[in-house]
Amino acid sequence: MDNKLNCVWSWTICVILALLLGCGLARLWYTCRKISINRRVVHVWVALALSFFVLYDLCVYRLLVLDLPYTTTPVGAGRFVLDVVMAILIGVLLWRGMNGADWPVGGELVAILISWHVCAVIWHVMAHVERHRTPPWADYLPHLIFCSVYALAYALNRRAQRRSPQQDVPVLKRRFALVLSTLVICVSGFRLWQKTQPKRVSASAVRQIAGTWR
């Protein structure tokens, strides 16, 4: 694919993600005015976690596209479709996660996060299939581990809710919101660190990144 078109597409996705983040923060600001201060603290932490997740996605996506550019093949077209699907998932994640009025929706957010990471695994596999090579485990295995961690945390939370009196369930839900948000920050931070290590970024990608900011 032409380098210019490749660059335009990747920046288009980045702009869409930035706009989605802005809409999510605006929604949080609007809905948090209707809730108590104690609940507001939880929602702000959730917002910080989701915002960091989007920023991580923006940074890593730029590196990946520069290192693994799209090609004019059916597999390359599939990656375009996955980009759109993953952007939609992030949009839904922000819309639901930053809606302080009816939070928590922990199970829904966990499902969205797991779906996003599954799409990321497929994206990595397709990117390497385009180049007729086996994807390194470091590209996809962390995403599968993250899915397991999110699912385990949700399962433990549901078990605690079933064993607790009904009046304690709201407290457990708010605690799970804090736990889930902390996991999102840890996962995003680890993946961002992993992908920005010198050995993970090719020399050509570094040159292209430098060129885009000139």
Q: Are 116 and 57 in contact (CB under 8 A)?
A: no
**pLDDT tens digits for range 51-74:** 999 999 988 998 888 888 888 788
Q: Are 188 and 53 in contact (CB under 8 A)?
A: yes
- Amino acid identity at 160: A
**Whole-angstrom distance, CA of residue 9 vs CA of residue 3:** 10
- Amino acid identity at 120: A
The confidence score (pLDDT) of residue 107 equals 82
Give the containing element (helix H, strand E) for 88: helix 74-97
C-alpha closest to that of 155 among 97, 107, 214: 107
pLDDT < 50 regions, the chain: 1, 200-203, 205-206, 209-210, 212-214
